[in-house]
Amino acid sequence: MPIATVNPANGETLKTYEALSPEEIERRLALAARAFDSYRTTTFFDRARLLQRAADLLEADAPDIARVMTTEMGKPVAAARAEALKCVKTMRWYAEHASRLLADEHPAESDVTDSGAVRAHVRYRPLGPVLAVMPWNFPLWQVVRFAAPALMAGNVGLLKHASNVPQMALYLEDLFHRAGFPEGCFQTLLIGSGAVEGILRDERVVAATLTGSEPAGRSVASIAGDEVKKTVLELGGSDPYVVLPSADVAKAAKTAVTARVQNNGQSCIAAKRFIVHESVFEEFREVFVSGMRELRVGDPLDEGTDVGPLSSEQGRTDLEELVDDAVESGATVLCGGQRPKDFADRGWFYEPTVIADVTPEMRIHQEETFGPVATLYRVADLDEAIAVANDTPFGLSSNLWTRDEDEIERFVRDSQAGGVFVNGMTASHPALPFGGAKRSGYGRELSDQGIKEFCNITTVWIGA
């Protein structure tokens, strides 16, 4: 399979690249091992200086690199700029806070006196070269939220990016190089998926992180498990968006539009299943469907575009199959449900779509919809809302709209997800842990939890 930039707005192949040879892969693995041997001894101050420089460079590059991102994977250019600036924020946050997050931890003397220690503490030490297998949908953000904490912890990174975003992958390697990181601290591997196993089994690679599909996660986790190597997985999501009677329904419905179509609907943490109490269902439906209809579908390089194309022809086909299956089984299309007529002969566009009357036997009830398609459910009470919200193999995040504190506490207690966002849409932030439950993966990124995932948590015991 070629490693190429194909513009999803028109299907044009812009650039192609040769995959790395086995000899070049070996050279890069050896370079990563040598880089780690020296980089791990650098200070937090030194690492922070380099990461701050990378943030400054990315901030300056943001307008130009956003256009490259848009031509590679199709997101509206305004969203691409916002993604770049979010990466800048996260780099700066870890540069500022890593030394505190990874400071030695000292238990109370009274807690360790019976261990025979004069003193004892916990130290966080880097693991080594970490392989990052990353997706195309947030081609900067997904990488930076791994790389920033990993580099600040003293690890080095090997990036296997999605094959449809090679320019973004090469840009990231160049960014860290220009920032002054020692050679080999962050390398991009232009390889196909078939080369991942050999790299992950190499003894110089100590751990892996993957954001992507459930099958990809299973494969990486299986290989890493066989080699007894640490993994962090962030996989799919089918996030519920629950609206109860006390909510600001108009605000919930307007926010729901953004929550569903962010990144052209191609986001693991996008709300996908909208579960609304029957007493406010009609009000929500009217505002939500109207908002979805009003979205502007078009050229993602146009600043006025709300929804661009899906990233690939196969991605659109997969989405169409889910919608067609639901309709054939009795679901009702409230808006959308087809390719836009204005783009019938070019690009991989799909109309913003809302589907109601969804039943459990439909594929769309259980499978992730990776595109601008929402399913709408009517429920009688909180108990039914929670049951529908949890009726999915995924558990990445969840949303609840209510002003009732008891309902909030109940939902937080019973939601089978890694995040609960109340009266707002799911979003990631460097200070808050991010990750899922069930088939959405395990481990956490961001915050202190994320930076510690790839650390050797070391007990230091000192006797008399």
Identify whether the C-beta of residue 400 lies closer than 8 Å to the C-beta of residue 421. yes
Stated as kind and residue range, the H or E segment containing 327 is helix 313-328
Instruction: Count, in order, helices (H) and strands (E) of the chain.
Output: 15, 19
Quote the tokens at residue 164. Answer: 């449809």
Residues in the chain: 464
Q: For residue 258, what are the CA distances in angstroms to 27, 139, 288, 295, 392?
A: 45, 20, 10, 10, 22
Q: Specify whether 234 is catalytic.
A: yes
Considering only CA atoms, which of 327, 393, 379, 323 is closest in space to residue 353? 323
Report the DSSP beta bridge partners of residue 274: 241, 376
| C-beta separation of 346 from 10 below 8 A | yes
Closest CA to 73 of 367, 348, 292, 426: 348
Say which amino acid occupies 323. Answer: V
Both tokens of residue 358?
A: 């969804």
Distance of alpha carbon 407 from alpha carbon 276, whole angstroms: 14
User: For this structure, is 407 an active site residue?
Assistant: no
Active-site entry in 234, 407, 445, 453: 234
Residue of 87, 185, 268, 335 marked active site:
268
Nearest-10 crossing angle of helices 281-294, 249-261: 40
Catalytic annotation, residues: 234, 268
